[in-house]
Amino acid sequence: MGDFQNKAEELKGSAKEAFGDVTDNEDLQAEGAAEKQKAEVKQAAEDVKDAFGR
């Protein structure tokens, strides 16, 4: 998965989390935060792979 896809997943999670904040939906907030965190971890793994030349 490339940088673009990871960023798209991160933005989707952020949007879901923000919508949960607005609607006071704790489940949606948590789901969005988890998706955002997962995308950030994937991106960090890609960065490590890139640093070591894959």
Q: Is pLDDT larger for residue 4 or for residue 1?
A: 4
Which CA distances in Å does 5 have to 1, 10, 32?
Answer: 6, 9, 16
What b/e string do you get for 8-43 counting C-beta neighbours within 10 Å, with b at 16 or more?
ebbeebeebbeebeeeeeeebbeebeebbeebeebb
Mean pLDDT of the chain: 91
* pTM, 2 dp: 0.80
Q: Is the pLDDT of residue 2 over 80?
A: no
Mean pLDDT of 20-36: 96
